[in-house]
């Protein structure tokens, strides 16, 4: 049973290499996706609330919902997604090499990523920011009181750089305690290896929610960075970029217009009095045709998992263990930053 296995695998690999002709770069991504019948969507390898696998191997979460919405828009089927979990390090390379069609993976929109790495951000689906969590017993009320504290920090992320900047501008010192994953951070923090844990506010909320006694820990008021997270695609394929951008906008606009998964069937059955709802749901105008997808793409998107607000509540909202409030991620009409351009 020795040499045989090796040669067997080799030969079969040769066969599959011949058969599995990788999806080439030629042609627009939209056509490739339609032809393939499924969307290849890069997601996080696991991030509480944003992308996680349930016991039946189904992916779910806030970032995953964006993938499903795009699949619903293009293919009319929110389950026609091939999820490809990618790590922090490989995510951009995988996207640029054409292995995946889009990336919806908690990625901060920054200048260099947009310009230097030749990526195109399709918008922002979550406005995050870096914060601090400390045990209540420490008696600290502001991050500026943390002089000399050991801080748990995920190495190799923008949070590490933000932290250094913050402490330098405030002229205080800290001892970094390097950790690699959120669960490791949680253990290190609970075991007292660090007095402070810093990461994106959403991550802090999730970590705090997992504690046995969450009320013993406080998230400090300072938010020291801007982390607009959103889905992204490759540079140079603008039609595809438009599809992803307007899918996201449709989710946001639907909430503003009051279209929910409960009433979308009724609203899309026949034209209503509100022309913008009609255009979004495809009962009026030809927005779908302009975008190169079905006329009722808007209705399909909302049917997948609901509008932005519903997705938020389902995966990371106040009724979930993570318990995030809308904050910056409320509609502009409620004092938040969500502002979808008009569907016209």
Partner 1 sequence: MSGTHAHSPSANTAYVQKTIIEPSPPPASETGAMKWVRENLFSSIPNSLLTLLTLYVIYQALMVVVPWIANGVWGTEGEGPNSLDECRQQLEGAVGGCFAVIRERWQQLLFGNYPKDELWRPTVAFFGLILAALPVMFVKLPRVLLIFTGIFPFVTYWLLWGGTIWAPVLFLGTVVLGYVVYSKLVGQSFFMGILGFLAVVFIGGNFLVGPIADALQGIIPISLSDVESREIGGFILNFVLGITCVSLSLPLGILLALGRQSNLPIIKGICVVFIEFIRGVPLITLLFVASVMLAYFLPPDANFDIMVRVIIMITLFASAYIAEAIRGGLAALPKGQYEAGDSLGLDYWQSMRLIILPQALKISIPSIVNIAIGLFKDTTLVSIISMVDLLGMIQQRIFNTTEWFGVYWELLGFAAFLFFIICYGISQYSQWLERQLATDHR
Binding site for partner 1 (CB under 8 A): 1-18, 20-22, 24, 44-49, 51-57, 85-87, 90, 93, 97, 181-183, 186-187, 206-207, 209-212, 315, 320-322
| Rounded-to-integer distance, Cα 147 and Cα 198, Å | 14
Angle of CA points 75, 79, 82, to nearest 5°: 90
Closer residue to partner 1, CB minimum distance, 103 or 122: 103
Q: In what order do the strands lie in the sheet with 39-44?
A: 81-86, 39-44, 102-103, 232-234, 119-121
User: 198 vs 268, which CB is nearer to partner 1?
Assistant: 198
Nearer to partner 1, 208 or 279 (CB): 208
Rounded to the nearest whole angstrom, what is the least distance from the CB of residue 282 to partner 1 in the complex? 34
Q: Which is nearer to partner 1, 22 or 270 (CB)?
A: 22
Q: For residue 21, which phi and psi values (nearest 5 degrees)?
A: -70, 110
Which pairing describes strands 149-154 and 196-200: parallel, antiparallel, or unpaired?
Answer: parallel
Is residue 140 a contact partner of residue 221, using CB atoms and an 8 Å limit? Answer: no
C-alpha span between 126 and 119 (Å, rounded): 18
Tokens of 316: 């990371």
Q: Taking a C-beta distance cutoff of 8 angstroms, is the pair 198, 131 a contact?
A: yes
- Measured from the CB of residue 317, what is the shortest distance to partner 1 in angstroms? 11
CB 147 within 8 A of CB 172: yes
Min separation Cβ 22 and partner 1, Å: 5
Region of 134 (left: φ > 0; alpha: ψ -120 to 50; beta: rest) is beta
CB closer to partner 1, 96 vs 170: 96
- Min separation Cβ 56 and partner 1, Å: 7
Least distance from partner 1 to the Cβ atom of residue 157, Å? 16
Cβ nearer to partner 1, comparing 53 with 272? 53
In the beta sheet, which residues pair with residue 338?
A: 331
Buried-state track 241-275, b at ≥16 Cβ within 10 A, e below 16? bbbbbbbbbbbbbbbbbebebeebeebbeeebeee
Give the nearest distance from C-beta 275 to partner 1 in angstroms.
39
Write down the least CB distance from residue 153 to partner 1, Å.
18
Nearer to partner 1, 97 or 175 (CB): 97
CB 61, min distance to partner 1, A: 8
Q: Which is nearer to partner 1, 208 or 300 (CB)?
A: 208
């Amino acid at each position: 049973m020795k040499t045989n296995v090796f040669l067997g695998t080799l030969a079969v690999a040769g066969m599959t290499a011949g058969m599995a002709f990788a999806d080439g770069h030629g042609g627009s991504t939209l056509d490739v996706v339609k032809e393939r019948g499924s969307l290849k969507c890069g997601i996080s390898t696991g991030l509480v609330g944003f992308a996680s696998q349930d016991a039946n191997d189904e992916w779910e979460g806030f970032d995953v919902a964006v993938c499903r919405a795009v699949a619903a828009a293009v293919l009319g089927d929110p389950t026609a997604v091939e999820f490809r979990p990618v790590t922090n390090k490989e995510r951009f390379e995988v996207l640029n090499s054409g292995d995946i069609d889009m990336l919806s993976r908690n990625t901060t929109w920054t200048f260099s990523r947009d310009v230097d790495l030749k990526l195109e951000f399709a918008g922002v689906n979550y406005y995050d920011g870096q914060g601090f969590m400390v045990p209540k017993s420490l008696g600290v009320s502001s991050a500026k009181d943390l002089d000399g504290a050991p801080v748990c920090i995920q190495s190799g992320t923008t949070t590490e750089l933000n932290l250094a900047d913050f402490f330098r501008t405030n002229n205080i010192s800290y001892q970094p305690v390097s950790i690699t994953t959120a669960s490791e951070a949680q253990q290190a923090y609970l075991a007292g290896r660090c007095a402070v844990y810093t990461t994106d506010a959403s991550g802090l909320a999730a970590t705090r929610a997992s504690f046995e006694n969450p009320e013993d820990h406080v998230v400090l008021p300072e938010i020291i960075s801007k982390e607009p997270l959103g889905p992204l695609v490759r540079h140079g394929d603008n039609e595809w970029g438009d599809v992803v951008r307007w899918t996201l906008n449709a989710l946001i606009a639907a909430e503003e217009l009051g279209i929910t998964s409960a009433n979308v069937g009724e609203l899309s059955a026949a034209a209503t009095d509100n022309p913008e709802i009609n255009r979004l749901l495809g009962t009026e105008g030809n927005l779908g045709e302009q975008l190169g997808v079905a006329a009722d793409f808007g209705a399909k998107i909302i049917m997948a998992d609901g509008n932005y607000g519903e997705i938020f509540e389902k995966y990371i909202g106040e009724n979930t263990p993570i318990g995030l409030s809308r904050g910056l991620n409320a509609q502009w009409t409620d004092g938040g930053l969500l502002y979808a351009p008009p569907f016209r």
